[in-house]
């Protein structure tokens, strides 16, 4: 541990766990400060407080006391976690119940903690996050009490029109075979104020959303106010492009614009409330669609729900199995897993009666009992992959379900879609990096921006870490060296050159460039320009106006969310890495259209499949007090 991470004034258990690398300096400082302000000296309470701070820093909303010891250390650490002086759970909970820092106790003016009893055990919250979680719970439950007025016959006719398939002879459009989960999602949106549409890549989430919007536009006419948003600028731009492409065929309103959640809510620099739209000044939309909801943090979801009118239809879209927000919370997966409440909506059941039991579509399984229950909570999961299938889809499902033996069986069998390589076996990776760079550079030098951008999607190297032997920095340098050696030219990332792959790291709304965008430098008649894909036409900007951009021959798996490539090479770290999780591997695999190459050890793959991100929260639990 470096000196900067060591808290000199920490004593006892706080000091031991700080030195072991379990608790960071910030965790200890917050616990000590709260203890000092609130008059708390109990070692058990201060330790639990530090762990609660650590939990939020690690992405959880609270500390699950039943999983007190569920912590990780840096992969290079030799600390034996089990040998540390862990307190007894009973002692910790008893001390917390009597602590002046805990809301509900009789002592002390400062109560920054909240101890909550659930059906699965007790949770310790920093009070701010408890209030945010309760706001989400109360708003969603309130929106479930009533539903919008539904013209069942009109909705049924529109569902039949909007969700169609080509007849066997290829001459007519007929109703899509049952069960059609996209049609079910639209029926849910028609009969509820809040709908959650979950599904992996290529399951038709945006396709479904566009048809839902078309249904509402036909019902309510040109005055319908639609808000489209996503957590990042890149995701918002992609959502807008997808909806815009389908607009002519679906007669959607002109001028639909997607924006970041911050822009939707009207973020105000320096203001106390931060957002223009809040509980006192609601958003003006009749329908709001939020894409990539898996990346929305607890705090942002709370702010959104506070600002949504009770009579606004809210549609939350995303993949609950992929990586979650970098901030605290895993709201989408919590909403999908929440306890089912209430009775089945009779209007919904009437609309989807043909989809409940039928199995006319060979690609779709009949709805399970669990899926039917989730419909009562406004949740539908799209399951039919349309972007990729075969071995890649099987591998993704095996990882998602935690079946390590099946994952290894699929990787070892290989085939056209999957390959598994030892860490030292990088020959195929080398070949793909060089060939991709060669085709991109050739197109870029010829000024063919669209072709160069398309070439970028041929292959992408993804890493779990930013630094270290398996990280982006090390492998980006290696890739640049390989490309330079193959071309016989020295590549300098500090200077612009044709074929240079780019990654934007900050939003620039004026230039229409967003954090996470990838592009390429092209030669446009002697002038180098940065090209970014925007619909069917590339957007060209001078590279000198890009304030936050880097050369990208490799990127983190987190950064790759929302992108697709023909071939994906995944560089896995050692099994001890705390970043190596089921969600990370699933996200990496589902970036590929045609081929997935895993570079690592069997131990690392098994560790990833078996280690699931379990962000503690109370949203998916029944609160007792």
Angstrom distance (rounded) from CA 326 to CA 322:
12
> What confidence score (pLDDT) does residue 314 get?
96
Question: Are 586 and 612 in contact, with CB atoms under 8 Å apart?
Answer: no
> What confidence score (pLDDT) does residue 302 get?
94
The residue count of the chain comes to 625
Helices 582-589, 390-400: axis angle to 10 degrees equals: 170
> What confidence score (pLDDT) does residue 1 get?
47
pLDDT digits (tens, 9 = 90+) for 343-368: 778 888 888 877 777 777 666 677 78
Looking at residue 293, the DSSP 8-state letter turns out to be G
> What confidence score (pLDDT) does residue 209 get?
93
Q: Strand pairing of 113-118 and 258-260?
A: unpaired
> What confidence score (pLDDT) does residue 389 get?
59
369-to-96, 182, 361, 366, 376 alpha-carbon distances in Å: 40, 18, 19, 10, 11
> What confidence score (pLDDT) does residue 81 get?
79
- Which residues lie across from 523 on neighbouring strands? 528
Q: Helical H runs in 446-507?
A: 449-456, 472-487
Q: Helical H runs in 364-415?
A: 369-375, 390-400, 404-413
Selection from 247, 162, 254, 243 nearest residue 206 by Cα: 243
Which residue numbers in the chain have pLDDT < 50? 1, 167-168, 170, 272
CA atoms within 13 A of residue 571's CA, in its CB half-sphere: 29
Q: Which long-range contacts (CB under 8 A, 24 or more apart) does 497-500 make?
A: 497/521, 497/528, 498/441, 498/444, 498/445, 498/522, 498/523, 498/528, 499/437, 499/440, 499/441, 499/442, 499/444, 499/445, 499/452, 500/444, 500/551
Tokens of 614: 């379990």
> What confidence score (pLDDT) does residue 129 get?
92
Q: How many CB atoms lie within 10 A of CB 421?
A: 17
């Amino acid at each position: 541990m470096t000196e900067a991470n060591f808290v000199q004034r920490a004593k006892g258990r706080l000091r031991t766990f700080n030195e072991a690398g379990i608790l960071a300096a910030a965790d200890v400082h917050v616990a000590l400060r709260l203890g000092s302000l609130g008059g708390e000296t109990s070692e058990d309470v201060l330790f639990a407080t530090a762990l609660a701070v650590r939990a939020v820093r690690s992405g959880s909303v609270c500390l699950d006391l039943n999983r007190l010891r569920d912590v990780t250390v840096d992969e290079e650490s030799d600390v034996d976690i089990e040998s540390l002086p862990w307190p007894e759970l009973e002692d910790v909970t008893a001390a917390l119940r009597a602590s002046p820092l805990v809301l509900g106790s009789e002592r002390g003016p400062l109560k920054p903690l909240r101890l909550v009893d659930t059906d699965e055990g007790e949770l310790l919250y920093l009070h701010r996050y408890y209030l945010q979680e309760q706001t989400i719970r109360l708003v969603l439950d309130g929106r479930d009490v009533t539903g919008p007025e539904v013209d069942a016959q009109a909705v049924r006719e529109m569902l039949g029109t909007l969700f169609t398939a080509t007849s066997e002879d290829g001459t007519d459009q007929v109703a899509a075979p049952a069960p059609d989960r996209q049609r079910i999602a639209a029926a849910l949106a028609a009969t509820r104020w809040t709908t959650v549409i979950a599904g992996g890549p290529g399951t038709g989430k945006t396709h479904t959303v566009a048809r839902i919007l078309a249904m509402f536009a036909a019902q309510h006419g040109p005055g319908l106010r639609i808000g489209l948003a996503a957590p990042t600028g890149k995701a918002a731009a992609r959502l807008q492009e997808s909806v815009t492409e389908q607009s002519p065929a679906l007669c959607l309103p002109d001028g639909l614009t997607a924006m970041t959640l911050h822009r939707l809510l009207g973020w105000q620099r320096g203001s106390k409330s931060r957002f223009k739209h809040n509980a006192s000044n609601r958003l003006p939309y009749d329908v709001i669609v939020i894409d990539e909801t898996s990346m929305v943090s607890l705090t942002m979801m709370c702010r959104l729900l506070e600002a949504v009118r009770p009579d606004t239809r809210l549609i939350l879209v995303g993949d609950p199995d992929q990586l979650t927000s970098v901030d605290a919370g895993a709201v989408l997966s919590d909403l999908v897993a929440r306890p089912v409440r209430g009775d089945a909506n009779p209007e919904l059941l009437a609309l989807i009666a043909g989809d409940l039991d039928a199995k006319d579509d060979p690609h779709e399984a009949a709805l399970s009992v669990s899926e039917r229950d989730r419909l009562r909570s406004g949740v539908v999961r799209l399951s039919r992959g349309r972007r990729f299938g075969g071995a890649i889809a099987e591998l993704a499902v095996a990882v998602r379900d935690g079946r390590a033996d099946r994952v290894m069986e699929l990787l070892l069998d290989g085939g056209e879609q999957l390959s598994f390589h030892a860490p030292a076996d990088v020959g195929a990776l080398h070949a793909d990096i060089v060939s991709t760079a060669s085709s991109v550079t050739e197109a870029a030098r010829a000024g063919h921006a669209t072709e160069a951008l398309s070439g970028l999607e041929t292959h992408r190297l993804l890493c779990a870490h930013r630094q270290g032997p398996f990280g982006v920095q090390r492998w980006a340098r290696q890739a640049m060296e390989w490309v330079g050696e193959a071309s016989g030219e020295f590549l300098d990332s500090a200077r612009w050159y044709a074929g240079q792959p780019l990654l934007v790291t900050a939003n620039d709304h004026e230039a229409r460039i967003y954090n996470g965008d990838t592009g390429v430098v092209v030669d446009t008649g002697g002038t180098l320009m940065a090209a970014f894909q925007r619909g069917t036409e590339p957007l060209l900007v001078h590279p000198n106006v890009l304030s936050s951009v880097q050369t990208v021959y490799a990127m983190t798996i987190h950064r790759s969310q929302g992108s697709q490539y023909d071939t994906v090479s995944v560089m896995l770290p050692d099994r001890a890495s705390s970043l190596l999780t089921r969600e990370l591997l699933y996200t990496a695999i589902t970036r590929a259209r045609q081929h997935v190459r895993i570079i690592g050890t069997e131990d690392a793959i098994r560790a990833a499949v078996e280690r699931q991100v379990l962000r503690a929260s109370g949203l998916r639990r029944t609160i007792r007090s």
